[in-house]
Amino acid sequence: MGLLAGAIPAARRAAAQQAAGLEIQKGPFVGTRDSLKAYRVPEWFRDAKFGIWAHWGPRSAPEQGDWYARRMYIESDPAYKWHQQHFGHQSKVGFKDVIPTFKGEKFDPEHLMDLYQKAGAKYFFSMGVHHDNFDMWNSKHTR
């Protein structure tokens, strides 16, 4: 039963990728624990010591912190009042209405990579999807 439970999400992912016209090349692993047991951390990563992970998405637009999409609905939280002052009441303007304000007009990835490298970062990870379910790529789900 455990093996079947792990196969269902993989099947859904594969169907979604196929529907989106994405061709994912096969890698050295399959979705099983036995397959992953063969994984070895690359030497460069063992020695890297410092990397940077970008945590950027629609919740960044209002500049009110990572949990803004949740906090803006909690009456005792300062984000609740801030949202009303800047966007209107939550019953009329919710987080779904904040998402389109995230445009990244000043996003300069080359500059950021230069800064990260100067800071000593040996690797960089970018977030693909946060718990707000906003895809950080040209996705049919979050246009």
> For residue range 104-130, what is the model confidence (pLDDT) as tens digits?
888 899 999 999 999 999 999 888 887
Across the chain, which distance is largest between two alpha carbons, in Å?
54
Highest-scoring range by mean pLDDT, 3-7, 35-39, 57-61, 77-81: 77-81
Q: Compute the distance between CA of residue 137 and CA of residue 127 in angstroms, rounded to an integer.
A: 10
**Could you tell me if 75 and 15 lie in one domain?**
no
- Please give the share of the chain, as a percent, with pLDDT higher than 90: 38
**Could you tell me if 67 and 78 lie in one domain?**
yes
**Could you tell me if 83 and 129 lie in one domain?**
yes
Mean of the pLDDT values across residues 65-74?
92
Tens-digit pLDDT profile for residues 2-15: 444 444 455 666 66
Q: Which of 59, 55, 51 lies closest to 113, judged by CA?
A: 51
Residues with Cβ within 8 Å of residue 122, at least 6 apart in sequence? 44, 47, 48, 49, 50, 51
The domain total for the chain is 2
Mean of the pLDDT values across residues 26-46?
87
Q: Compute the distance between CA of residue 141 and CA of residue 127 in angstroms, rounded to an integer.
A: 16
**Could you tell me if 30 and 50 lie in one domain?**
no
What pLDDT is attached to residue 30? Answer: 84
Domain that holds residue 1: 1-39
